[in-house]
Structure 1
Amino acid sequence: MSREEKKQELAARAAWMYYVAGVTQQEIARALGLSRQVAQRLVSSAREMGMVSVKIDHPVTHCLQLAHDIQHRFGLELCRVVPSAQLDDDAIQQMLAVEGAAVMTQFISEEQPQVFGIGSGKTLRAIIDSLPWIERPQHQCVSMIGAIARDDSGTRYDVPLKMAEKMQGKYFFIPAPLYADTPEDKAMWVQHQVYQRVTQRALQADVAFVGIGEVQPGCPLNAEGFITDAQVEALNARGVVGEMLGHFFNQQGERVWGETDALLTSVLLESQTQRRIVAFAGSARKYAAIRAALLGGWISGLVTDEETALKLLRESSRL
């Protein structure tokens, strides 16, 4: 047995003890002869490796009603709301991961071949980590953002490969950086036949799964070095509150164009979309961006949290 296999076995044993037998992490550490910190990491890694699937059969009635009201108010095809009262961002993301995986599983379970467009970000990565393994080799996953990071490495936010592995399906990636170095470089990337074939496949996807990003100092695009502090400040000064795949929009959901658009290589997104685009986002930090995406009609489905849903409905009643 390899070292990795031994690690997986130990993680599985810890998961059985914690989730099924109700044993505490301290007791797991004692039983397995480990420190509490190692036992805690094993339980966490079991979730990340997709060994643990959470299913709660009794829905929260209040969240069901909120989802119904959001869906009706914003003309969505799909809406799910997870409980979030008094939870921090990390806890909300874990709740979104579980519910998001359940939503994705409904699409993946289809026997008819499907093409899934996949965005990027921490929330989508957590959702795909939570996905069960479902053998659907007939399905395809297509990236909607460039797969090359600033330092020429593969970006860690390129998550479709992991989803394709869980389905044993095909994976198509965009052979380009998220932002080209110059407009001339962008022209070179987008003229490539592979780029054109992959982006066309993504545009014709049966459903796209995306995140919604906030635009403020320290946001993922800024923290990862894709946009500078000065560019964030300039975008905010023009009313920008959110982005999807690098497409910026203001608080009314209107597209805001800027210098980065001459460099952006992502698959095209548009407001008032007619495409099936399901977004996964929650927390107070992302509220303005989520609201703007709904007002602008950028998405057809949303998985979000209770506090966000309540605020959306309160503010929409004043429109």
Structure 2
Amino acid sequence: MSRHDKKLDQAARAAWLYYVAGKTQNEIADIIGVSRQAAQRLVALASEQQIVTVSISHPIADCMDLASRLQKRFGLAECHVVPSGGLDEDSVSRMIAVSSAEVMAQYLRQEEPQIVAVGSGRMLRSSIDALPELDRPQHVCVSLIGAIASDGSCTRYDVPLRMAEKTQGKYFILPAPMFADSKEDGELWRSHRLYRAVIDKSEQADVAFIGIGQVNENCPLCEDGFISAEQLAMLQQANVVAEVLGHFLADDGSRVDCELNPRLTSGLLQPQTHKNIIAFAGGKEKHRAIRAVLNGSWISGLVTDEDTANYLLSAG
């Protein structure tokens, strides 16, 4: 890499930190390991070289290399890695959300009508919030997962409506709780005409965007009321480390057999997938969960961060 390219790399990193992570020039100087004056010049250089427009257009070589290695290692169709060295978890999440929004926009800007399937969760919601307004009423957004908790409440992180607001398109929610009260109740929900209509549409999706949940003391499903503390303990005892669309996975990526499985109403997800399913996830707390999903080849694309990428490549 030439000296000029290295300088642009540093300028792009500084731009991510300044414009996306919201770091001050003093903080950028500490993170990159340069003086405050040098950090100021790097931010200015990013603007002068038109690296910063609406998005940061100059990729960072280290991140590109990590993405390429992840693609090869896990057989991904696409992968994007954002810088995260020296950043707190909130800043890393913001970086991933911005990069994820760029990935989604590539599909949503298309003129040809698209069926876009979506999961739920904080990261996915943040990514959709980072999307620009797009006038694409021809696109359809379909939910892959029921957003109703056991007490009848709905999660704040249900996202089909929010995406439809961004595109001005039609959206379809999955008319069912995430987990039915029993196996028999699950069969009733899944046999309903409206449920079948939405599931059939989701199976025709051109692309699906999903999150990845960790199964630990900070398990999102438990925090949002979809499973109880007792059920979480049962999952942990069964060595579950990841959750994706309500499917529970072990470290090796295999689906764990548990009493919640026949009660799940979300769209079908299969290991060794050939579908266009892109996950947005990162941060230290999700390391094992992301690795499990990749081990089982449940997704075809990933947007994550540097530290997570290094963990995934170094893990046995």
Task: Specify the TM-score bucket, using the shorter chain as the normaliser.
Answer: 0.7 to 0.9
**Could you tell me which residue of structure 2 aligns to residue 221 of structure 1?**
221
**Could you tell me which residue of structure 2 aligns to residue 184 of structure 1?**
184
Partners of 1:147 and 1:225 in 2: how far apart? 11
Task: Tell me how far 1:58 sits from its aligned partner.
Answer: 2.1
**Residue 272 in 1 paired to residue 272 in 2?**
yes
Partners of 2:231 and 2:283 in 1: how far apart? 24
Q: Please list the CA deviations of residues 163-190 of structure 1 after superposition, one character each: whole Å capped at 9, or x if unmatched.
A: 0111111101111111112223222211
Partners of 1:73 and 1:179 in 2: how far apart? 34
- The secondary structure found in structure 1 opposite 2:137 is coil
**Could you tell me which residue of structure 2 aligns to residue 42 of structure 1?**
none
Q: Please list the CA deviations of residues 226-270 of structure 1 after superposition, one character each: whole Å capped at 9, or x if unmatched.
A: 222232222222221101011001000001121111221111111
Q: TM-score, normalised by structure 1?
A: 0.80
Partners of 2:65 and 2:127 in 1: how far apart? 23
**Could you tell me which residue of structure 2 aligns to residue 104 of structure 1?**
104
Alignment CA distance shift 1:181-1:54 (3 Å): farther
Task: Tell me how far 1:200 sits from its aligned partner.
Answer: 1.3
Task: Tell me how far 1:54 sits from its aligned partner.
Answer: 4.7
| Corresponding pairs, count | 268
Q: Please list the CA deviations of residues 122-174 of structure 1 after superposition, one character each: whole Å capped at 9, or x if unmatched.
A: 00000000000111111100001113233323332210111011111110111
**What amino acid maps onto 2:121 in structure 1?**
G
Deviant stretches of 4+, over 6 Å: none
**Could you tell me which residue of structure 2 aligns to residue 120 of structure 1?**
120
Q: Any stretches of 5+ residues in structure 1 without a counterpart? A: 1-17, 25-52
**What amino acid maps onto 1:96 in structure 2?**
I
**Could you tell me which residue of structure 2 aligns to residue 79 of structure 1?**
79
Q: Please list the CA deviations of residues 31-77 of structure 1 after superposition, one character each: whole Å capped at 9, or x if unmatched.
A: xxxxxxxxxxxxxxxxxxxxxx9511222111011111111111100
Q: Percent identity?
A: 54
- The secondary structure found in structure 1 opposite 2:173 is strand
- The secondary structure found in structure 1 opposite 2:292 is helix
CA contact (8 A) 1:54 1:98 kept: no
CA contact (8 A) 1:118 1:144 kept: yes
**Could you tell me which residue of structure 1 aligns to residue 154 of structure 2?**
154
**What amino acid maps onto 2:81 in structure 1?**
V
CA contact (8 A) 1:146 1:178 kept: yes
**Could you tell me which residue of structure 2 aligns to residue 303 of structure 1?**
303
Counting only pairs closer than 5 Å after superposition, residues 36-47 of structure 1 correspond to structure 2 as none
**Could you tell me which residue of structure 2 aligns to residue 50 of structure 1?**
none
**Could you tell me which residue of structure 1 aligns to residue 172 of structure 2?**
172
Partners of 1:107 and 1:309 in 2: how far apart? 24
**What amino acid maps onto 2:205 in structure 1?**
A
**Could you tell me which residue of structure 2 aligns to residue 258 of structure 1?**
258
Q: Any stretches of 5+ residues in structure 2 without a counterpart? A: 1-17, 25-52
**Could you tell me which residue of structure 2 aligns to residue 291 of structure 1?**
291
Task: Tell me how far 1:284 sits from its aligned partner.
Answer: 0.8
Partners of 2:232 and 2:219 in 1: how far apart? 9
**Could you tell me which residue of structure 2 aligns to residue 36 of structure 1?**
none
CA contact (8 A) 1:217 1:229 kept: no
Q: Please list the CA deviations of residues 275-319 of structure 1 after superposition, one character each: whole Å capped at 9, or x if unmatched.
A: 11000000110000101111100000000000010111122xx5x
Alignment CA distance shift 1:154-1:230 (3 Å): closer
Partners of 2:223 and 2:138 in 1: how far apart? 37
Partners of 1:149 and 1:188 in 2: how far apart? 17
CA contact (8 A) 2:149 2:225 kept: no
**Could you tell me which residue of structure 2 aligns to residue 246 of structure 1?**
246
**What amino acid maps onto 1:263 in structure 2?**
R
**What amino acid maps onto 1:59 in structure 2?**
P
